Amino acid sequence: MKLNLSIRGFKSVDRDVDLSRLNIVSAPNGAGKSAIADAIRFLALGHVPALGKREQDTAMLMSNGRLGVTLTLEDGRAATRTLERAGEGYRSTVRASWVRGSRAEHEAGILALFGSDAEDVAEALDIRELLSLSPAKRAARIEKMIGSAGADDLPVRIARQTVARLLDLDVDQLPEALSEAISNLPSGRAGVIREIGPTVSDNLRAGGIPPVIAWANERKKEASAAAAKRKAARDEIEARLQGMAGVLPIDALVEKRDALQREIGASQETGRREAERAKQHDAALSEQAKTAATLSDAVVHLDRIETSSAEMIEVLQEKLPGYDEAIGALRAQVFAVNTDGERLAILEAQLEGLTDEPIEDLARYERMVDEFEEELAGLKASPWVEVKTSLVAFTVSARLRAPGSLDWR
């Protein structure tokens, strides 16, 4: 909501002020804060309550023989009130741009912008109007503001107003069930409301606001007396402590206690971190032991495979010269024979019989080599046997290619 307040001839300075739903005016003394407030009161009521209702009382604020205030609403409507000197007296005007009628109707239209009646507006615009009343009249006015005196829903109205103010909300923004709104209050305030709520409601229903005010004043006195006793006890303790050599004041002791508690918390956190590190270290040692055991088993198995491979190669190398010699002799006989088919068949059968054994030995060796390679592939998953595996492969290769070794061509 945007409003514009135009002030002319009011005290010593003319000004235009933009207003919104909530406004805070802060300025040095004499800068014109009260002039703005008085201008709003003059526009709404035709006078400034603190000065009086007579035109000559309001004229005390006039700087150049004429003063005027105009409030322009967001929708373009404008409310204007003026006061000027006219000979020995004064002449005033009032106009609401949206009203067509008598002066009284224009005044009523402007007053309705600020409240329900002149008394209500005066108290709303100047709290001093309410505070100047006697306690009984002030309680009656507060009851009237909130609702009808003695109404059954008066405690509910007051409770909703109180909770809305504590939550900084409008009353119509609260949920229907007030308990839902109270649960959003800080725990201390919510607890106080729940504690005193039944007593306040009973007093309101019994006699309206005056008994509640009396009860609240009594509780305030009791609280003040209790606070005074606590302060006196604290002062006495402070005095006794100051009289004791080497004893620090309570505030200093509290500060040292808080510092020690912070150190304890830091030490506990450090201990927790160290315990976690020790746990991780133990887990690493356990994993290392498992890895070492696996490596040892792999080395033993690799040595076994290496020994078996060497033995097989040695047996084959011993048998191969005899096989080569027999095969060579048979080949010489085959090429030397005549075309006698029967003789040739006998020789071929002999040749086939001679070659079966080495071929079977070689096939068995190939199967064993395949099995060794599968075992080696499983062991290669460990980085510690990689070098060992390479050495075995190199050894087998060297033996196969050494002078007098097997020739697979």
The rounded distance, in Å, linking the Cα atoms of 409 and 401 is 12
The rounded distance, in Å, linking the Cα atoms of 380 and 375 is 9
Quickly count: other Cβ atoms within 10 Å of residue 255's Cβ. Answer: 12
Contact 147, 136 (CB under 8 A): no
- For 242, the 3-state DSSP assignment is helix
The rounded distance, in Å, linking the Cα atoms of 371 and 358 is 20
The rounded distance, in Å, linking the Cα atoms of 366 and 400 is 13
Q: Extract the residue ranges of the chain whose pLDDT is less than 70.
A: 1, 139-140, 142-154, 243-249, 333-345, 347-366, 368-409
CA 91 to chain centroid: 63
Q: What is the pLDDT of residue 44?
A: 92
Q: What is the pLDDT of residue 205?
A: 74
β pairing state of 78-86 and 66-72: antiparallel
Q: What is the pLDDT of residue 233?
A: 87
368 Cβ contact list (under 8 Å, min separation 6)? 308, 309, 312
One-character DSSP codes across 74-89: TTS-EEEEEEEEETTE
Q: What is the pLDDT of residue 405?
A: 44
191 Cβ contact list (under 8 Å, min separation 6)? none
Q: What is the pLDDT of residue 7?
A: 92
Q: What is the pLDDT of residue 408?
A: 38
CB-neighbour burial class of residue 163 (10 A; exposed 0-12, middle 13-18, buried 19+): buried
Six token digits for residue 313: 């190669």
Contact 115, 45 (CB under 8 A): no
Q: What is the pLDDT of residue 1?
A: 63
Q: What is the pLDDT of residue 407?
A: 42
First to last CA, the chain: 104
189: left (phi over 0), alpha (psi -120 to 50) or beta: alpha
Of 47, 43, 79, nearest to 60 by C-alpha is: 47
Q: What is the pLDDT of residue 388?
A: 55
The rounded distance, in Å, linking the Cα atoms of 220 and 203 is 16
